[in-house]
Amino acid sequence: MELICPAGTPAALRSAIDAGADAVYCGFNDETNARNFPGLNFSRDELRKGIAFAHGRGAKILVAINTFPRASATALWQRAVDDAVEAGADALIVADIGLMDYVARRHPNQRLHVSVQAAAANPDAIAFYVETFGARRVVLPRVLSVAEIAEIMRETRCETEVFVFGGLCVMAEGRCSLSSYATGKSPNMQGVCSPASHVAYEETGRGTTSRLGGFTINCFAPQEAAGYPTLCKGRFSTALGDGYIFEDPVSLDATTLLAGLRSAGVAALKIEGRQRGRAYIESVVRHFRRALDTLEDGSEADIVSLTPFTEGQASTLGAYRKTWR
Amino acid sequence: MSHSSAVSGPLPTIPPILALAIRPLPLFPLQLVLSGFLQNILRRNPGLLDRLGEHRRARFGIKPVDLPFAFVVEAAPPRLLVVRELPQNLDARVSASLANLLALVEGRVDGDALMFSRQLGIEGDVEAVLALRNAIDDAGLDLAGELASLFGPLGGPARRSFEFARDRLTGSPGEPR
């Protein structure tokens, strides 16, 4: 299985490859990708240099152009596609069917991956992307169990890529409007969930209060582990009491499921976190490189805990092992 | 070559007795050295300002929680003040232990992980802080090297002194904690 790793900066790209990534995914520094945060992402020149660096070390670069073009600005997304192809990207990760159509028509030889943002969660949806646009790989949404992934693999010849570590979206990916409601900025069209421009932290006698777009999301006691300031991981007061009504602040960690995912026929494992620093990239990529290598050669795994890097200092197997159905 | 090996465990803090001992020291000599340090870093790493973008003129307050002073830092034009208390007119405030701040600047710890474990506090313009964090992380700063370049022929001893002090505080590269 390939190890697909995130990079929000050229330095992170180099760290990922040095730590053992088979491929790195990254995006341009604009709203064409779903991690459009300040100080993050790649200029055209940085992408060209990053691709040269990766290819020199036998690694691939996948360019995420995975937000949904706005009606009045499709040229921005099409230009991103053209520039990524011209730079020598090994694959484009795309969510919007209009943009996939553009890739298929203008760059028929370009390898196309279906982004997790497209939420292709069944064989029929995957078949549509394969037959219509020539998609070679689909990144599966984080709502499927390992058994369901195996079912899908029995009905498709398309490669699949699944997340094994990092942040989780509790909503249908590419369709969530919680952050848009609170801030007026869309994760799916402008690439920024819980934009930092709308986040506020306040230190009070009770601890740290986090707000998004004026909505109070959480209040953490001084030593209590925290999560991202997203509405889906907010702690609210309801008639049933106080608590996390959508999802706890917790990160996915599927280290223990790698053998099952390989048996299911998964082609690639993906680490979330283009917004994270080099220390995260280096540690998490090295962890999964070691885990994959020990899986391949059958040796004893000596795996360190990734808890310090997790949201809420806790991890979950997420939907891979559904216990709520 | 940057000092980049990641550390994942908690880093030590300055002992309170030491913090108390340095409290009476004058701040101006430190400000003089750190101002030159900042100018040197910005001159040698122009990409930092590019990534800071519209936030390059932001006024950041940096508070090492285990030291009896703090820093006010501006990138463009470069300016650094060492103060006993942070002033009110700042765009953003960042607080953490000295060890965590140093490790963050050198890319040895992940800023989000420090937030999750409550070892890093942020107030004010979160977007400016995020831009600063990402700019610094991409720069791959080698603080010992930057310091050495500031001291000319005394660069070697300056580098070794800094590395000794830093490694006592944050651990050697690759050393598990």
Distance CA A150, CA A123 (A): 11
B75: pLDDT strictly greater than 70: yes
Closest residue by Cα to residue A176 from A230, A104, A237 = A230
pLDDT tops 50 at residue B1:
no
Q: How close, in Å, is residue B169 to chain A by CA atoms?
A: 18
Note the pLDDT of residue A152: 96
Domains and CATH numbers, chain B: 16-142 (3.30.1050.10)
Chain A residue at shortest CA distance from B131: A39
Q: Which residues pair with B61 in a beta bridge?
A: B72, B93
B6 touches chain A (CB under 8 A): yes
Q: What pLDDT, on the 0 to 100 scale, is given for residue B2?
A: 45
Residues 6+ apart with CB under 8 A from A313: A225, A307, B116, B117
B92-127: per-residue pLDDT in tens? 999 999 999 999 999 999 999 999 999 999 999 999
pLDDT at B160 over 70: yes
Does position B4 have pLDDT exceeding 80, yes or no? no
Q: Which residue of A has its CA nearest to B134?
A: A39
Tell whether the model's pLDDT for residue B143 goes beyond 50: yes
> For residue B152, what is the DSSP state?
G
Strands (E), chain B: 59-64, 70-74, 79-83, 92-96, 121-124
**pLDDT tens, A228-263?**
999 999 999 888 888 998 888 999 999 999 999 999
The answer on pLDDT for B175 being more than 80 is no
Q: Is B130 on the interface with A (CB under 8 A)?
A: yes
CB < 8 Å to A38, chain B: 53, 55, 127-128, 130-131, 134
* Chain B residue with the nearest C-alpha to that of A13: B138
Report d(CA B125, CA B119) in Å as an integer: 19
Instruction: Write out residues in chain A with pLDDT < 70, as ranges.
Output: 301-302, 324-325
Shortest distance, CA B22 to any CA of chain A (angstroms): 27
pLDDT of residue B6: 75
pLDDT of A7 reads: 98
Domains for chain A: give ranges and CATH numbers: 2-168+250-321 (3.20.20.60), 189-244 (no CATH)
Residue among A276, A280, A303, A311 with most chain B CBs within 10 A, to mutate: A280
Q: Under 8 Å CB-to-CB from B93, ≥6 apart: which residues?
A: B60, B61, B62, B63, B86, B121, B122, B123, B124
pLDDT of residue A170: 77
At A301 the pLDDT is 66
Residue A32 tokens read as 């064409």
What are A42-51's pLDDT values in tens digits?
A: 999 999 999 9
Facing residue for B137 by CB, picked from A201, A277, A308: A277
The model's pLDDT over A16-32, given as tens digits with 9 standing for 90+, comes to 999 999 999 999 999 99
Average the pLDDT over B141-146 and give the result.
Answer: 87
- On whether the CB atoms of residues A63 and A48 are closer than 8 A, the answer is no
pLDDT at A282: 96
User: CB–CB of B117 and A308 under 8 A?
Assistant: yes
Using a CB-CB distance cutoff of 8 angstroms, which residues of chain A are in contact with residue B139?
A: 11
State how far the Cα of A194 lies from the Cα of A198, in Å rounded to an integer. 7
pLDDT at B8: 61
Largest CA distance in chain B: 43
Q: Chain B interface, mutation test: which of A35, A283, A289, A310, most B Cβ atoms within 10 Å?
A: A283
